[in-house]
């Protein structure tokens, strides 16, 4: 979706000035969900597997993390946190940089983006349809992973992004132990 959304966008150069090949991973298998992270001296927060990838949001001084494992069942999450209505779009489209020695051979993992659902006077609800695309329920407009309406009545509109980051659970929770953890219950 990056190439479609940003036709003039550039990727990282493979010419790094170092001898190591750009696509080689020196930490093969590091992100195995059953691994214990190296260099972690204290016990990891027991609420999630240490190596679970999470996307965090921080709103008005409060934090919530969304485990990547929920994206299998919920590729779109419409949520409200600390007074802000948000949506998370997820898509299985990225190669893990920490799985195999050659990143090109690594397993596919989700990518995730977070936006405010409020667009002008509309509070939008989103879904992922069988065609693999994201749509808002209110107008039927199609949206991409970057929060841009690419077809339908809202074509050309953009959602406001919510500051977020992707981390391993042990790392985020070590610095923000008060974080709430999203559950799809």
In this prediction, residue 168 carries a pLDDT of: 92
pLDDT digits (tens, 9 = 90+) for 45-91: 999 999 999 999 999 999 999 999 999 999 999 999 999 999 999 99
Q: How far apart are CA 88 and CA 66, in angstroms?
A: 9
Q: Within the chain, where are the H helices? A: 2-5, 169-175
In this prediction, residue 103 carries a pLDDT of: 73
pLDDT digits (tens, 9 = 90+) for 151-165: 999 999 999 999 999
The answer, yes or no, to whether residue 36 has pLDDT greater than 90, is: no
Q: How far apart are CA 181 and CA 75, in angstroms?
A: 17
Task: Catalogue the long-range contacts made by 9-12 (C-beta closer than 8 Å, 24 or more residues apart).
Answer: none
Lowest mean pLDDT among 28-32, 40-44, 109-113, 131-135: 28-32
**42: which residues sit within 8 A by CB, 6+ positions away?**
174
When pLDDT is cut at 50, 70 and 90, the band that residue 32 belongs to is confident
Mean pLDDT over the full length of the chain: 88
Average pLDDT of the residues in 110-121: 95
From residue 162, give the alpha-carbon distance in Å to each of 30, 128, 129, 173: 28, 20, 23, 19
* Backbone Cα Rg of the chain: 18
- Positive or negative, the CA dihedral 36, 62, 87, 11 is negative
pLDDT above 90 as % of the chain:
62
């Amino acid at each position: 979706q990056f190439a479609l959304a940003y036709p003039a966008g550039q990727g990282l150069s493979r010419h790094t000035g170092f001898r190591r090949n750009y696509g080689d991973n020196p930490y093969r298998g590091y992100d195995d969900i059953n691994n214990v992270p190296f260099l972690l001296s204290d016990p990891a927060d027991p609420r999630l597997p240490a190596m679970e990838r999470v996307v965090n949001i921080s709103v008005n001084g409060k934090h919530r993390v969304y485990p990547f494992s929920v994206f299998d069942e919920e590729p779109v999450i419409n949520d409200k946190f600390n007074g802000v209505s948000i949506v998370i779009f997820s898509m299985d489209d990225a190669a893990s940089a920490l799985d195999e020695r050659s990143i090109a051979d690594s397993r596919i993992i989700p990518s995730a983006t977070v936006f405010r659902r409020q667009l002008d006077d509309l509070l939008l609800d989103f879904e992922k349809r069988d065609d693999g695309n994201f749509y808002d329920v209110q107008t039927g407009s199609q949206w991409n992973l970057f929060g841009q309406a690419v077809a339908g009545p809202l074509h050309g509109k953009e959602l406001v992004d919510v500051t977020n980051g992707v981390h391993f659970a042990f790392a985020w929770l070590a610095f923000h132990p008060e974080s709430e953890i999203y559950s799809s219950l």
